[in-house]
Amino acid sequence: MRALILGGTREARDLAKLLVDRGDDVISSLAGRVKNPALPVGEVRIGGFGGPEGLTAWIKEHSIDVLIDATHPFAEKISLSAATACKATGTPLIHLHRPAWTKQPGEQWIEVPTMDDAAREAATFSTILLTIGRQKLASFAPYDSTQFIIRCVDEPEVALPPKHTIILSRGPFTVDGEKELLSTNGVEALVTKNSGGALTHAKLEAARELGIPVIIVQRPPLPEGGTLVHSAAEAVAALS
**Using CB under 6 A as the criterion, which residues of the chain lie in contact with ligand NAP when the complex forms?**
6-9, 29-31, 33, 48-51, 54-55, 71-72, 74-78, 81, 133, 135
Nearer to ligand NAP, 127 or 197 (CB): 197
Strand order in the sheet with 25-30: 43-46, 25-30, 2-6, 66-69, 93-96, 227-229
| Minimum distance of ligand NAP from residue 29's CB (angstroms) | 4
State the nearest-atom distance from the C-beta of 132 to ligand NAP, in Å.
8
Per-residue burial over 217-239, b = 16 or more CB atoms within 10 Å of its CB, e = otherwise:
bebeebbeebeebeebebbbeeb
Q: Rounded to whole angstroms, what are the CA distances from 202 to 60, 159, 184, 215?
A: 42, 28, 17, 15
- Could you write out the DSSP letters of every residue in 45-85? EES--SHHHHHHHHHHHTT-SEEEE-S-TT-HHHHHHHHHH
> For residues 34 and 27, is the Cβ–Cβ distance under 8 A?
no
Instruction: Give the residue with the Cβ less far from ligand NAP, 185 or 194.
Output: 194
Nearest distance from C-beta of residue 178 to ligand NAP, angstroms: 18
At its nearest, how many Å lie between ligand NAP and the CB of residue 135? Answer: 6
We find the least distance from the C-beta atom of residue 134 to ligand NAP, in angstroms, to be: 9
Is the CB of 163 or the CB of 230 nearer to ligand NAP? 230
Shortest gap between Cβ of 9 and ligand NAP (angstroms)? 5
Which letter does DSSP use for residue 223 in this model? Answer: P
Residue among 134 and 179 whose Cβ is closer to ligand NAP: 134
Rounded distance, CA 112 to CA 120, Å? Answer: 10
Between CA 112 and CA 124, with CA 118 as vertex, the angle to 5 degrees is 120
> For residues 124 and 171, which CB has a smaller minimum distance to ligand NAP in the complex?
171
CB 198 within 8 A of CB 173: no
**Nearer residue to ligand NAP within complex by CB, 55 or 179:** 55
Q: Is 214:187 a contact under the CB 8 Å cutoff? A: no
